[in-house]
Chains A and B, each alone.
Chain A
Amino acid sequence: MLKKKVNLLWLVALAIALFVPNIITNPAYRQIAVITLIFTACATSWNMFSGYSGYVALGSAAFYGTGAYTMALLSLHLHVHAGGDMFWLVPVGGLAAMLMAIPIGLIALRVRRHTFVVITIAIFFVFQLAAINFGFTGGTGGLTLPYIPWMIQSYHVPFYYVALTMLVFAIALSASVRRSRFGLQLLAIRDDEDRALGLGVKVFPVKLTGFAMSAFTIGMGGALYAMMQGQIYPQFVFDPIFDISIALMAFFGGFGTLLGPILGGLVLESSQQYLTVTYSNGSLYLILFGVLFLLVVLFMPQGIVVFIRDWWAKRQDRLAAANEAVGAQGGNS
């Protein structure tokens, strides 16, 4: 009964999402919508590994950038027809990021907690420096992708639907991982990795698989972003703010929950983009976010989703207890 209701809610949300380009017609706001979907998909995917396993990775921009450069380089060198055909390179960007995640994971996943966080940050900077210094990446000048001759008014609509598909994919993957044995193993690793090992969980292969799977969607996000922008620079696709943003989205909404990063991504990224566009002030959002995060960390340290869930459960308990008390009184009299 409850399950049916939840499924219905997902369908309603999807139906609304499908009509967003009809409601928002201003290209600037449509672009905000696309970027919001890309970030939400990335946050969901990041949470699928980091949230479930407890391995907080702060170098995911390495995968985002890998996807973006894969899109740029392949579309330039393969002479792909500028336009809809380039969408086929989006999953290729995801695959490139996934392949990149394997050696990174082999190094970084040997260590835990703070050391893991620091190593992922270090690896991210290696990628950024490489993009700036290698010749084939265009250096600091970045790369210009083939020009897509679409009407400015409707330019973002196809990107919107591809980004929405990506988000649905990320959510479906995260949900099915949560329900699988593999997801259970990730959760066990989060709670006590050594104990999990002693119960037959092959922790290293499990961690590596999760890490690479989460890199796939993030790489697709980078590829789609590059295609939409038509121009990429190393400091914007290998951006440390990206690392922090997707982690904060997950923490804001609820670290390790399915809904958390979706909520966090939709709220934070859209408001950030909106503030930036409306007040043409790139750092105003940083101040507002600072305040918001302080409030969340102080009053809802586990994120909004968990806070509401707990509040709801407590309320149900209270109601049940009250009913029981009434019932008991009735029985006595």
Chain B
Amino acid sequence: MTTLLSAQGISKHFGGVNALNLCSLDVEKGSITGLIGPNGSGKTTLFNVITGYVKPDTGTVTFDGRDITNARPDKVFALGVGRTFQLTRIFARITVLENMLVATQREESWLRGLTRSMSSKSELDSAMEWLDFVGIARLAKLPAGSLSYGQRKLLELAYVLVADPDVVLLDEPAGGVNLTLINVISEKIRALNKEGKTFLIVEHNMEFVMNLCDAVTVMHQGTNLVSGSPTEVRNNPLVLDAYLGGGEEEDATEEVANG
């Protein structure tokens, strides 16, 4: 196992708030790594730092041996790090298929876009394949704004995957989604992982995380608290403290699972 994506000693202050405080995280190649922690523990900020949306005050991010600290989001994506957002973000006024096409050419130079049509045959085919994979191919011609929340989640997953990134960062893929769809998403992630894709997942749904992930990192107050296998993490008293500020273990596990 080699480390594909690594963040070391990341700090980020917003005004007087320490959103991240010397936080470190390693994602093994070919793993599904979970990132959990109470609200406000800095998970999304860490995502933003890794993908270039937020510049860290200190620390380094490396991907596949390359330093990508402070690289712009388009550059990070071009190298092979895709992400979804907690509040699903799609392009509402273009069609579902056009949404897919935006992401197809991750390494293309910007001038090339002027001289070529919106899509090539192979791009169209792979866009349709991925839409089919997540099960919304029949909606391809609709404006993306007309999709339901769950369908938007699937679309966001599909258009990140269409560019074939090496690692996919998912910010709450199961948030606000019904149980059937959670199972669908989790199945898709597992299938892709079998083919070698690496995932880093932020999620509050503990069942989802514990079933899916090979390794879990728990964040608390802007730093990484514990890392290990799901079982190790589940039984670690520090984790329960972080979530509940102490308490009986059995109650705590239940609370966490529901939260």
Contacts and interface: CB of A to CB of B under 8 A. Distances in A.
B137 interface: no
Given A187-B93, A190-B93, A198 B114 contact: no
Contacts of A324: none
Interface in B67-100: 72-74, 76-78, 83, 85, 89-94, 98
A198 B102 contact: no
Contacts of B107: 200
Interface of A: 179-185, 187-188, 190-192, 194-203, 205-206, 209
A182 B108 CA distance: 11
Contacts of A202: 74, 110
26 contacts: A180-B113, A180-B118, A181-B112, A181-B114, A181-B118, A182-B113, A184-B98, A184-B101, A185-B102, A188-B94, A191-B92, A191-B93, A191-B94, A192-B91, A192-B92, A194-B53, A199-B74, A199-B103, A199-B106, A199-B163, A200-B105, A200-B107, A202-B74, A206-B110, A209-B110, A209-B111
- Most chain B CB atoms below 10 A, which of A179, A183, A202: A202
B74 A198 contact: yes
A184 B116 contact: no
B41 interface: no
A183 B89 contact: no
B148 interface: no
Given A187-B91, A191-B91, A191-B93, A199 B102 contact: yes
Interface of B: 51, 53, 72-74, 76-78, 83, 85, 89-94, 98, 101-103, 105-108, 110-119, 159-160, 163
A198 B90 CA distance: 11
A200 B83 CA distance: 11
B77 A198 contact: yes
Contact of A183 (B53, B110, B111, B118): B118
Contacts of A196: 91, 102
A178 to B, nearest CB: 9
Nearest to A186: B113
A197 B74 contact: yes
A203 B73 CA distance: 10
